[in-house]
Amino acid sequence: MARKVKRRQELELSIENVAFGGKGIARLDDYVIFVQNTLPGDRVRARIRKAKSRYAEAYPLEILQPSEMRGEAPCSHFGVCGGCKWQNVDYQQQLLFKRAHVEESLRHIGKVESDTIHPVLPAPDIYGYRNKMEFSFTHSRWLTHEELQDETIKKDFGLGFHVPGHFDRILNVDKCYLQGDTLNGILNLTQEFFRDAGIPVYHLRTHEGILRFLVLRKSFAQNKFLVNLITSEAIPEAMEQYADKLCEAFPEISGVLNTINSGVAQVATGEDYQVIRGSETIFEKLGDLTFEISVNSFFQTNSIQALELYKTVAEYAELDGEVVWDLYCGTGSIAIFLAKQAKKVIGFEIVDNAVKDAYRNADLNKVDNCEFVAGDLRFQLQKHSDNPPGVLICDPPRAGMHKDVLAEMLRLAPKRIVYVSCNPSTMARDLAVLTQDYKILEVQPVDMFPHTYHIESVAKLERI
């Protein structure tokens, strides 16, 4: 029988497991309580933040007995910044957590046998692996409890990450371990320059001010960088001075851009951008393929592990000259990666600019058997059914696939489906539908994001 709790109630809890999302799981009878920033084996005093009929959410006030899994996190922002939930956990243990999350979702929702799920493919680099980072400006940075005790620290300008659960609170970040030294150097120079420049930060409530976001991109193949400053209006004189300082300090920078976002939506894109210095693109390699990445292009955030992910897709596809459909193809990286083994690849993508990038990357790699189609998949798949796929690849967004798309996939009846996902729950939901006509042969989780709970998975399905 469920035991009820109330908001703000304090409880002593033992953490039994960890949920997808990184929160620890405690129980009172059969009532589940999710406790943030905890690990299996912790005994904590926690306060209830939210109480529902079937579960509650809480945060720890005190670690009464620490788990043996707990270690020291190298980052000084750990515990406040929400990016790395598990930086204080041994990497091999992180991989066990991630496989368990994939197995639990697929077994309970998708009815997948656990022995078809392989151990997680680990990342070779667990720090400095990201090729894209996004930071937000603030006029009133978030102060930690320790900083509040120091009267010399002022709650003023900052550039960093959103504090979890707060859209308007930004933690100033001087070093992020998920990006390399050069990107951290660019971040620090940007903080120093705009702290002294006197340019007002965009206010999320009044919608006044100028400075909004900083987006950094890196090419691991070339060791080159793009710097994109997003502002509410053009600041040409300041941008010239900023670009001069950047390029002098970091000659590896390929381009400095200024994107204008005059709307109220808090997104790090805009209606127009200007190249202040250098180029608007960088080039990344996956194996022997080269991809041109513009300031707003989608590309897998971990370049090194992306290659391993695509190798798994190619292995599961078992191509031998078939027609391949690539659903949610983005900028065409999977389609181009598979093109040599296929008769033809047709990629489907709803974003027009992504399709333009896909054609440009196909030309760059001299691939002439790829076609890319822009539009809503629910309608485009039927239009192209006169050239049905022998093998179908899908890499949907976190929310998974629309039921109409799943129905069309079953009607098309390709002999093999390779499903790529970044969300075990929605993947399991979709696979449960596809197993009406398909058998799941194997699932390979791939760790693209060490120290976080995120996990990519590739499933191989064959028609019964």
CA distance 419 to 171: 36
Query: Which is catalytic among the residues 75, 84, 329, 422?
Result: 422
DSSP for residue 210: S
Q: How far is CA 406 from CA 13, 97, 298, 314, in A?
A: 42, 29, 24, 22
The answer to whether residue 422 is catalytic is yes
Q: What is the DSSP string of 104-127?
A: HHHHHTS---GGGBPPPB--S-SS
- Contacts of residues 339-345 at CB distance under 8 Å and 24 or more positions apart, as own/partner, are 339/367, 339/369, 339/370, 340/367, 341/314, 341/317, 342/369, 342/391, 343/369, 344/369, 344/370, 344/371, 344/387, 345/369, 345/370, 345/371
CA distance 456 to 33: 26
Contacts of 12 (CB under 8 A, 6+ apart): 43, 44, 45, 46, 64
- Which residues are tagged catalytic? 422
